[in-house]
Structure 1
Amino acid sequence: MRQIFFDTETTGLDADKGDRIIEIGCVEMLNRQLTGNNLHLYINPERASHEDALRVHGLTEEFLADKPKFAEIVDQLLDYLAGAELVIHNAPFDIGFVNAELKRLKRGVLTDHVAGVRDTLLMARDLFPGKANSLDALCRRLEVDNTKRVLHGALLDAELLADVYIRLTRGQDALLMDDHGDASGGEAQAAVDAVDLSCFVLPVLRADAAEIEAHAKMLADLDKAAGGSCRWRALEPPEPVA
């Protein structure tokens, strides 16, 4: 499955009142592996940012003045997103802004161009009811390093969201990335294959009834958070027929 972690920065909070997108960040994940095929766009919104928004993202009119307008990047964006599932934190906000931009250009709506949308805010509220579930709060709870997030940036936030999503769905070890950001799954597997396991004598530890019950509950929670697509459930043996 191709998934795109998607985030925007905007001039304000209300697309219906003319606020515009100024930055888009996209991080690609293919079959739960980050590919490095990301997309980062700055956009000239043809208007100023509200003071509160400017304090959040720090992108000034002067910086954005020579950047392309949305109409100039729309084909690049839609071609990149085509057929992917989007993963967004508080999806209605970002989708609302993209739809407003597409409407100006008579290009339909975002969901016309993608396979679907998954909202990590809804996932987090389901997993952690009654708790703060902002991206920063999830980074702290799930031990994702967000110390570089002094100002909000669309690409950085999309990268953080990818890490949060992997941890929300308990797939931390699926991200085999080296220090340069390159996918290294083949190298990691080669290193594993090179280990001679015949020299190890390993005890077999059987789960007791309480552990099996706890494991089943954890899988049920994961399956619920993943919208019924938890891979671990597919690996469970079928229940015996009476």
Structure 2
Amino acid sequence: MREIVLDTETTGLDPETGDRIVEIGCLELINHVPTGRTLHHYINPERDMPQAAFEVHGLSTEFLSGYPVFAALADEIVEFLGDAVLVIHNAAFDMKFINSELRRLGRPEIPMSQALDTVQLARRKYPGAQVSLDALCRRFEIDNGHRTLHGALLDADLLAAVYLELIGGRQPDLALATEAGTDGGAAGSRTVEQAVRPYREPRPHAPSAEELAAHRAFLESLKEPLWLAAQPAG
């Protein structure tokens, strides 16, 4: 199963009033395991950067002016996302910005059904608790001390760790011993020592003459035992 953990940074809160994407970060999971494939771009929003947004992510108009516009990156972004499940924290926000950019180019929108919202997932699992990315990192003891400003790829990386905890967590202790014994001690595996036991000859299990006699005497005490009826005559 292919999933893409995705985050964006923007110039504001509403693409309908002219706000644009300024950064996108994506991280690929296959069967809930990061593959190492990522996609990350800063994007020239073709407009100024409001101060409130700059204070969130630190991306200035001057900095972004040297990067490509969304139209130049659309093919690469759409191809990378494909039909994978998009794991997004507050999916409605990012999806409306992505689809606004696609509409602007006359391209098909990505259906909301393709997105998995980790905010909703966290609220179902921890009703009444804080479900911000920072709060969930604290809950799961995920180190986010280097996160002084929002950054799309950094947040996608943190979200991937949070998502794996929300769906049950990675439990390396449950790895099969056969895997640990054949991977040469690969990173992330546990070394399982094989117990050395001395060889013992198998013990005889045939009944003794006394045991056979006692068993027949017991059967003879029963009324028409099926055991005797099933045995061949003689």
Name the TM-score class by shorter chain. 0.7 to 0.9
The 3 A distance-change label for structure 1 pair 142 and 66 is same
| Identical-residue share of aligned pairs (%) | 50
Aligned to 2:146: 148
Q: Matches of 2:129 and 2:190 in 1, distance apart?
A: 43
Aligned to 2:135: 137
Q: Matches of 2:182 and 2:114 in 1, distance apart?
A: 31
User: What SS class does the counterpart of residue 23 from structure 1 fall into?
Assistant: strand
What's the CA shift string for 1:122-153, capped at 9, x where partnerless?
A: 00011111111111111111111111110000
Q: Matches of 2:104 and 2:72 in 1, distance apart?
A: 13
Aligned to 1:225: none
For residue 190 of structure 1, report the CA deviation from its aligned partner.
3.6
For residue 66 of structure 1, report the CA deviation from its aligned partner.
1.2
For residue 170 of structure 1, report the CA deviation from its aligned partner.
1.7
Aligned to 2:194: 197
* AA matched with 1:166: L
User: What SS class does the counterpart of residue 73 from structure 2 fall into?
Assistant: helix
Aligned to 1:157: 155
What's the CA shift string for 1:136-181, capped at 9, x where partnerless?
A: 111111111111110000000000000001111123236xxxxxxx
User: What SS class does the counterpart of residue 144 from structure 1 fall into?
Assistant: coil
- The two structures have a TM-score, normalised by structure 2, of 0.75
Aligned to 1:87: 87
5+ residue gaps, structure 2: 173-178, 198-234
Aligned-pair Cα RMSD in Å: 2.2
| 8 A contact 2:22–2:45 mirrored in 1 | yes
| 8 A contact 1:10–1:49 mirrored in 2 | no
Aligned to 1:47: 47
Q: Matches of 1:147 and 1:71 in 2, distance apart?
A: 34
Aligned to 2:18: 18
Aligned length: 188
* AA matched with 2:54: L
Give the number of the structure whose alpha-carbon radius of gyration is greater.
2
For residue 187 of structure 1, report the CA deviation from its aligned partner.
10
Q: Matches of 2:190 and 2:44 in 1, distance apart?
A: 50
The 3 A distance-change label for structure 1 pair 22 and 187 is farther
* AA matched with 1:47: R
Aligned to 1:239: none
The 3 A distance-change label for structure 1 pair 153 and 110 is same
5+ residue gaps, structure 1: 175-184, 201-242
| 8 A contact 2:180–2:191 mirrored in 1 | no
- The two structures have a TM-score, normalised by structure 1, of 0.73
User: What SS class does the counterpart of residue 86 from structure 1 fall into?
Assistant: strand
